[in-house]
Amino acid sequence: MEVNALVRQFIKTELVTDHLYSDLQDNDPLLTTGIIDSLGIVKILAFIQEQFGVNVDDREIVPENFETVQAISSLIQQKLAGKQ
Amino acid sequence: MDFSWSKEQLELKRAVIEFARKELTDDLVQRDREGTFSRDLWQKCADFGILGLPIPREYGGQGMDRLTTVLMMEGLGYACKDHGLIFGMSAHMWDVEMPILDFGTEEQKQRYLPRLCNGQAIGAIAITEPEAGSDAFSLSTTAEKQGNYYLLNGTKTFVTNGPVADVFLVFATVNKKLGFLGITAFLVEKNFPGITVGKNIDKMGLKTNPWSEIVLDNCKVPVENRLAKEGNGVAIFNDSMEWERSCILAGFVGSMEKQLEETIQYARERKQFKQPIGKFQAVANRIVDMKIRLETARLILYRATWLKETQGSAPLDAAMTKLYLSESWVKSCLDAVQIHGGYGYTTEFELERALRDAVGSTLFAGTSEIQRNIIAQHLGL
């Protein structure tokens, strides 16, 4: 499965509690809708580490890297590329 | 994991104990009663190098690794009963110096760390608000960018070191819509226009460490005083909390050891029914529990510090350490009071003060309930 699909699936399964967002798209906002909150970010960081084997540096925990599924996926892809 | 300390590390611990025995003695009972902070003792600790233990030498620190720092703080707690002083210094070190070291620009490190290490400046973290305690990231203090400065507005409370602080690490949101990722950290100096520091907040324990409210009313903070990027505040806060939760109680492990030794001595000397009270199983069992708590607290402290230092992030272990140490300290203080009987309840024996101080440790840096929530979350619950 591609990175975007895995991230989207994880967020839908673990973080989306409101049925309004059950059809989550890659560019839907995650922060302004509260889908990712301060507890959710911990789960996402653990997921990224476990699923993709990359660590997110504290300095990378900023809005532009977590505002959408696309942004999170891009961050992961950059990190995966850096590992190669 | 290697559990042994080097000869040099143990020598450093001994040196701190000797320093504290010689230099950190004053009328603590009186100062506790009056709630007086001692700048003199703070400066003595700075001169000895304690305030800069984990900070590299190039920024005025001692360049110690974190485990050695924790060992030395443990030594300090063993010989110094002023838990308020130790708590204040720990907050200064882990909550202000470390975020600057980990996230600051070179210019910020050069500007602030030497003064924080040598005692010229005292640091304080300001995140808690009257309506944002355990739910810290729901804070409402705002930071509005206007050209090359920000205007900060809001009220912070329970600011450790607040009334005596020179530099505040203030957390505010630059965009409420972004939720917790709008939170940004700023280095605010006490003489910046628009900051008002409130009076010392009287409290149950740790009375020699002053706390206060601070009010930010259009407080003008230059852009160069923002710590890291906009929205990086949560990462900074989490990093500082991991350090704090892992290490802030190191001094109190030393305190638990000293208290255990004194309680054993008392149980050997105090006679009732024609024998030392330590011969009664009811008393001995309490002391055994104190010993087990001390040794397990020590191990979990060293492990969390080692993980944080080697892996960079150890939120689960930091939470477990904070939870276990604080609750162990309270339980052991209660045991010590009980074993000393009526004497344990008196101010003169200094156990009631330790108990009052210990209760605070289950509240600051995240209550025991919050630590359990964090642990549960890491267990997938």
* Model pLDDT for residues B97-151, shown as the tens digit of each residue: 999 999 999 999 999 999 999 999 999 999 999 988 877 788 999 999 999 999 9
**Number of domains chain A contains:** 1
Question: For residue A67, which residues of chain B lie inside 8 Å, CB to CB?
Answer: 178, 181
Structure tokens at B212: 């206060």
Q: Residues 6 or more apart from B147 whose CB is under 8 A from it?
A: none
* Model pLDDT for residues B285-340, shown as the tens digit of each residue: 999 999 999 999 999 999 999 998 888 778 899 999 999 999 999 999 999 999 99
CB contact under 8 A, A58 and B179: no
CB contact under 8 A, B179 and A38: yes
CA gap B288, B32 in Å, rounded: 30
**Structural domain span for residue A26:** 3-83
CA gap B56, B46 in Å, rounded: 15
Confidence of residue B211 (pLDDT cuts 50, 70, 90): very high
Q: Can you give the pLDDT at residue B250?
A: 92
CA B336 to chain centre: 23
Phi, psi of B24 (to 5 degrees): -105, 35
Q: What is the CATH number of domain B7-122?
A: 1.10.540.10
Which homologous superfamily does the CATH classification assign to the domain defined by B124-231?
Answer: Butyryl-CoA Dehydrogenase, subunit A, domain 2 (2.40.110.10)
Q: What is the CATH number of domain B236-378?
A: 1.20.140.10
Q: Can you give the pLDDT at residue A18?
A: 72
Question: For residue A66, which residues of chain B lie inside 8 Å, CB to CB?
Answer: 181
- The verdict on B313 touching A (C-beta cutoff 8 Å) is yes
Confidence of residue B370 (pLDDT cuts 50, 70, 90): very high
- SS3 of chain B: the string is CCCCCCHHHHHHHHHHHHHHHHHCCCCHHHHHHHCCCCHHHHHHHHHHCHHHCCCCHHHCCCCCCHHHHHHHHHHHHHHCCCHHHHHHHHHHHHHHHHHHHHHCCHHHHHHHHHHHHHCCCCEEEECCECCECCCHHHCCCEEEEECCEEEEEEEEEEEECHHHCCEEEEEEECCHHHHHHHEEEEEEECCCCCEEECCCCCCCCCCCCCEEEEEEEEEEEEHHHEECCCCCHHHHHHHHHHHHHHHCCHHHHHHHHHHHHHHHHHHHHCEECCEEHHHCHHHHHHHHHHHHHHHHHHHHHHHHHHHHHHHCCCHHHHHHHHHHHHHHHHHHHHHHHHHHHHHHHCCCCCHHHHHHHHHHHCCCCCCHHHHHHHHHHHCCC
* Model pLDDT for residues B51-82, shown as the tens digit of each residue: 999 999 999 999 999 999 999 999 999 999 99
Interface test with A, best of B174, B180, B308 (most A CBs within 10 A): B180
Question: For residue A58, which residues of chain B lie inside 8 Å, CB to CB?
Answer: 102-103, 232, 235-236, 238-239, 312-313
Confidence of residue B361 (pLDDT cuts 50, 70, 90): very high
- The verdict on B312 touching A (C-beta cutoff 8 Å) is yes
What mean pLDDT is reported for chain B? 94
Give this complex's ipTM: 0.79
Of A34, A39, A59, the CB nearest to B232: A59
**pLDDT above 70: percentage of residues in chain A:** 96
Question: For residue A46, which residues of chain B lie inside 8 Å, CB to CB?
Answer: 378
Q: Can you give the pLDDT at residue B339?
A: 98
Query: Longest C-alpha distance within chain B, in Å?
Result: 79
CA distances from B59 to B51, B52, B103, B122, B308 (A): 12, 9, 14, 15, 21
Cα torsion angle, A61, A66, A72, A78, sign:
negative
**pLDDT above 90: percentage of residues in chain A:** 52
B-facing residues of A in 3-62 (CB < 8 A) are 31-32, 34, 36-39, 41-43, 46, 55, 58-59, 61-62
* Model pLDDT for residues B14-36, shown as the tens digit of each residue: 999 999 999 998 889 999 999 99
Give the position of tokens 């979350």.
Answer: B377
Q: Contact at 8 Å (CB) between B48 and B12?
A: no
User: How many CB atoms neighbour CB B205 within 10 A?
Assistant: 20
CB contact under 8 A, B179 and A59: no
Active site includes B244? yes
CB contact under 8 A, A38 and B180: yes
What is the CATH number for A51?
1.10.1200.10
A-facing residues of B in 343-362 (CB < 8 A) are none
Cα angle: A22, vertex A23, A28; to 5 degrees: 105
Q: Contact at 8 Å (CB) between B176 and A28?
A: no
Q: Residues 6 or more apart from B75 whose CB is under 8 A from it?
A: B12, B13, B14, B16, B17, B20, B254
- For residue B345, pLDDT over 90 is answered with yes
CB contact under 8 A, A61 and B235: yes
Of A39, A43, A62, the CB nearest to B231: A62
CB contact under 8 A, A61 and B232: yes
- For residue A84, pLDDT over 90 is answered with no
Q: Can you give the pLDDT at residue B179?
A: 87
Question: For residue B177, which residues of chain A lie inside 8 Å, CB to CB?
Answer: 31-32
Minimal CA–CA distance to B72: which of B52, B98, B44? B52
pTM for the model: 0.91
Category of B96 on φ-ψ map: left (φ > 0), alpha (ψ -120 to 50) or beta: alpha
* Model pLDDT for residues B194-206, shown as the tens digit of each residue: 999 998 899 999 9
CA gap B318, B378 in Å, rounded: 12
CA gap B330, B359 in Å, rounded: 6
Question: For residue A55, which residues of chain B lie inside 8 Å, CB to CB?
Answer: 312-313
Of A37, A62, A66, the CB nearest to B229: A62
CB contact under 8 A, B234 and A61: yes
**pLDDT above 70: percentage of residues in chain B:** 99
Question: Active-site residue among B244, B257, B309, B352?
Answer: B244
Of B232, B234, B315, the CB nearest to A38: B234
CA dihedral B9, B11, B12, B17 (to 10 degrees): 130
Of B179, B235, B236, the CB nearest to A31: B179
